[in-house]
Amino acid sequence: MHRRVLAGDRLVATFLIGCVLFNYPLLSLFDRRAPVYEIPPVYGYIFIAWAAVIALIAWAIERRIE
């Protein structure tokens, strides 16, 4: 029981983090900045945040909590 609740809470937390990461105002922080390693920051940011959210989902849902 406990295991399931924890995994569930992690997924909800991931959802909420994702909602914040993928929206205004965090997105606007990367507007019109100089490229980092030749990549425009807004583009790099979204893909990195996206990958992080996917990794969090995988971690929360696949991990067997002992």
Partner 1 sequence: MLELPVLIAVSLTYLGLLFAVAWWGDKRADQGKSLIANASTYALSMAVYCTTWTFYGSVGRAAVSGIGFLPIYLGPTLVMALGWFLMLKMIRIVKANRITSIADFISSRYGKSHGLGGLVTIIAVVGIIPYIALQLKAISGSVSLLLSYPEIVMPGRSATMSVAADVSFYVALILAAFTIVFGTRHLEATERHEGMVAAIALESVVKLVSFTAVGVFVTYGVYDGFGDIFQRVIADPALRRLVEAVPSGQGYTNWFSLLFLSAMAILFLPRQFQIAVVENVNEQHLRRAAWLFPLYLLLINLFVLPIALGGLLHFAGQGVDADTFVLTLPMALRHEGLVLLVFIGGLSAGTGMVIVETIALATMVCNDLVMPLLLRRQTVVMGQGRDLSRLLLTIRRGAIIVILLLGYLYFRLAGEAYALVAIGLISFSAVAQFAPALIGGMYWRGGTRGGALAGLSAGFLVWMFTLLLPSFAKSGWLPDAFLSQGLFGIELLRPQQLFGLTGVDEISHCLFWSFFANIGAYVGVSLLRPPMAAEATQAAVFVDALKETGSRSAVLWRGRAKVSDLQDLVGRFLGQPRAQAAFGAFARRHGAESIGKLEADARLVQFAESLLAGAIGSASARVMVASVAKEEPLSIDEVMNILDEASQLRTYSRELERKSRQLQAATLELQEANERLKELDRVKDDIMSSVTHELRTPLTSIRAFSELLRDDPKMHLADRERFLGLIVSETERLTRLINQTLDLAKIESGRADWNGCELDLKEVIEQSVAATSQLFREKKADVVLDLPDDPPLILADRDRLVQVMLNLLSNAVKFLPPGSGQVRVVLRSIDGGLEVGVIDNGPGIRPEDQQLIFEKFRQVGDTMTAKPSGTGLGLPISRRIIEHFGGRLWVESVPGEGATFRFTLPFAAAQQPAEAGTA
What string of H, E and C letters represents the secondary structure of 13-39?
Answer: HHHHHHHHHCCCCCHHHHCCCCCECCE
Contact between 28 and partner 1 by CB under 8 A: the answer reads yes
Half-sphere exposure of 40 (CA within 13 A, CB side): 7
Verify binding: residue 52, partner 1, rule CB under 8 A.
no
Residue 42 sits in the site that holds partner 1 (CB under 8 A)? yes
Provide the binding-site residues for partner 1, judged by CB under 8 A.
7-8, 11-12, 14-15, 18-19, 22-24, 27-28, 30-32, 35, 37-40, 42-43, 46-47, 50-51, 53-58, 61-62
